[in-house]
A and B are shown apart, each in its own frame.
Chain A
């Protein structure tokens, strides 16, 4: 697992770590069942407080990305295949999408620009999602 801390990134450190883990899961670099490094060792290697790493892991656990249980190593969770209803999707992602729309407006992006941006990233994600699924099938 590769984690990088960028001082120029305005996001809090724990969000940077959580985002990178999710990105690696999406790309298939991290597969279901893969272990994450212990909190203390990751914090030590990045030169940050261990509570920052713990916060990142707790966020990933709450989002269902990792399994984190007392006395066990943190592992990438098996991917949920259940389809969300529109209301469940709104409840899960609505706040982030609203914030994204507001940020785009404040940056002066038009609706078309935002759509194009989303399409570009969604297209890339779909490409790797297929690759990811083939990985998941490999795991018994």
Chain B
């Protein structure tokens, strides 16, 4: 073997965003104890700067497409798309949290570096071309998220959320890892492309039952991470108990990265045995949508309602994964981008309305919001309409591309059931809208409170992005299309 231990400059540039993020996170954590209690917010500003530099690094590394570190990672359109998405979600979450953390736990500043680490893990998942790298990315992202979910450690709700996320997340990771071990045993490699090549050749292919079992084990692990049925139980509790900005992050960032991994593993490594996993995903997609939507109908807590809605949305994305085509992958990417913005926006509203200690989370707390705070109510309306999938919003085109891809792959029944599901979903979003516009506020309701600049920025930015995706979807779709076809290059 030639002695080329020193990676080339191109290799390093391809990993630049992750390097920037890990450096920013590490420096942030070192900086934190040096700051006086009143100045802990500095780590937030520092992390924000780190994330913005990482976004620039994504653009830099985009100029060097290809694999690096002996095929360990691959920079392609697919990876660039998801890197951009998770970093954008990270930036919005930091801005959303600046005031919140200051209010709820002012004496600590490690929130932001942990968030940056989580984003670094998600970036690594997006570029991982090899199961061990993907595993490490998944764990960096997850371990940091466990702490974030339980960040308000004196609040029983928050640490219960962290505990449940930790237990079920690690449980799922073990399944994923067992699948990796078996595929390593069966094919002798953990490189996705090599696995795909070996499985594609009938003469050297290991027994289908072993390959199928390892694929199933990995899918179980990933289904946990994206909260797909029948492994969705944890999501409602975790999303409800975590601090609102963290919930916004969890439902957008880690979920998008886990879907990126799922699509890459299925489309590259297990592409040849598509006939085996498509029916399985068909059932999972339908069950996820249905369970999410019907459970959301009876929720009275807004965070829990949005948590079930998040499960339902994962179901729609799984429909696009089931389509098993370029168009399907592009729809996955577009939908996750659209969902990220409307979800972060909706949780920004929740952050604002819930107020100190997150005491005001029931649907009745939203009664009369339109009269009290018309701007907030108006922006929330945009997010809710987008979550329903009304035209002129990102959610509409997301659903449109998903069901279009599903129809192209002849998933007629699944498309019909998916559309029926969307109709059911409209009911519980409209309940929130009706409460905001037509219900009288409960007696003793506190007066309107000014929106903090951070929340206000996130609200307007997310609303702008949601409308932009709804009016000019091709802006993002063309990136998704390029990325999707690159992911499938064999």
> Do A and B belong to a common assembly?
no
Give A residues with C-beta under 8 Å from B.
none
